[in-house]
Copies of this chain bind each other. A is one copy, B any other.
Amino acid sequence: MRSLRHLLPSAGSLIVFEAAGRLSSFTAAGRELGMTQAAVSYAVRGLEEQLGAQLFQRRHRQVVLTEAGERFHADVSLGLSHIRKSAEDLRLQATGGHVTLAASTAFGSFWMMPRLQQFRDELPGIDLRIQTADRDLDIIAEGIPLGVRGGEPRDWADYHSLALADEEIFPVAGASYLAKFGLPQTVEQLATHRLIHLEEPYREAASWDEWFESAGASLSDAARGLRINDYALVIQAVMEGQGIALGWRHLASRLLASGLLVPVTDHVMKTGKAFYVVWPKNRELSDNARKVRDWLAAQA
């Protein structure tokens, strides 16, 4: 089986051939492709010579496909249109219509979803796609224009970044839990309640131990309580009254505002880290991706 590279004088001559056959004219094909008639003539002739078959009958001021040319044209036309559609989709995704944002499930659910209507109102015509994952995606490698990450920008040498929110962590409980067990008034009381622990396998997240330490206390039995490996599920459990969990302000703020979640104690742990929208240094953002980035930063 021979490669097309050996079968053809150049792959570009296929594109030229397709246009000439469709338009029955070398001059019209040249116009469409931004070339001269002479270049089209040479390209078609090169193709005919390499394939050893006459593809066109040359008529007065016109060319007509031979029978063999007709068959070949049908196949080439089908193949190229397939490829063109795909290339256009890919380019659209990369440079236009679609913009993909890679983020955690929790960010998607609790930060972006409550703001989606606003996003649509302010940036109509941009098709935003959230790609969630249980780890921070290598968006450079994946060809995704934008991501949201927690941490410190100095750890991401290949990325630009803009801050979205500082990392502020405090306990949150659901109303039904508090109605049943009462609201803890002090850090010490809190330690006696049911605590829900987040255990993400890939992302580093602050734990209850760290929070109590930041409050100048200690948790005597760290093993007690529910353990869940997805923060979105943690929040669901809290709202259903299964216990108290640590809340990240930027994620919990909408739920707090609506009363679905209630802050517990007045101690807030500030890690010094923050959440950022990031994008690759090695590639220019499309106009739309830049707009999405700027919109995100404006929510800070």
Using CB atoms and an 8 Å cutoff, list the residues of chain A in contact with chain B: 1-8, 10-12, 14-15, 19, 32-34, 51-55, 57-58, 66-69, 71-72, 75-76, 78-80, 82-88, 90-91, 93-95, 138, 140-143, 283, 286
Contacts and interface: CB of A to CB of B under 8 A. Distances in A.
Contacts of A67: 142-143
A91 B51 contact: yes
B7 A12 contact: no
Given A11-B11, A87-B8, A93-B68, A143 B75 contact: no
Contacts of A79: 78-80, 82-83, 86
A209 B283 CA distance: 85
Contacts of A19: 3
A4 B72 contact: no
28 contacts: A1-B88, A3-B15, A3-B32, A3-B33, A5-B34, A7-B84, A8-B87, A11-B14, A12-B12, A52-B95, A54-B140, A54-B283, A57-B138, A57-B141, A66-B141, A67-B143, A68-B90, A68-B142, A69-B143, A71-B86, A72-B87, A75-B82, A76-B86, A78-B82, A79-B79, A79-B80, A79-B83, A80-B83
A52 B286 contact: yes
A261 to B, nearest CB: 35
Given A53-B94, A54-B143, 10 more contacts: A7-B88, A11-B11, A11-B14, A12-B12, A53-B93, A54-B141, A67-B142, A68-B93, A72-B90, A82-B82
Contacts of A7: 84, 87-88, 91
A72 B85 CA distance: 10
A51 to B, nearest CB: 5
A29 to B, nearest CB: 10
Contacts of A3: 15, 19, 32-33, 84
Most B Cβ at <10 Å: residue of A52, A71, A72: A52
A70 to B, nearest CB: 11
Contacts of A34: 5-6
A140 B80 CA distance: 28
A112 B57 CA distance: 28
Nearest to A139: B54
Contacts of A8: 87
Contacts of A138: 57
A19 to B, nearest CB: 7
A143 to B, nearest CB: 3
Return the 3 tightest CB-CB contacts between A and B, nearest first.
A54-B143, A75-B86, A52-B94
A69 B87 CA distance: 11
Nearest to A92: B52
Contacts of A78: 79, 82
Contact of A15 (B11, B15, B32, B52): B11
Given A32-B3, A68-B143, A82-B79, A53 B90 contact: yes
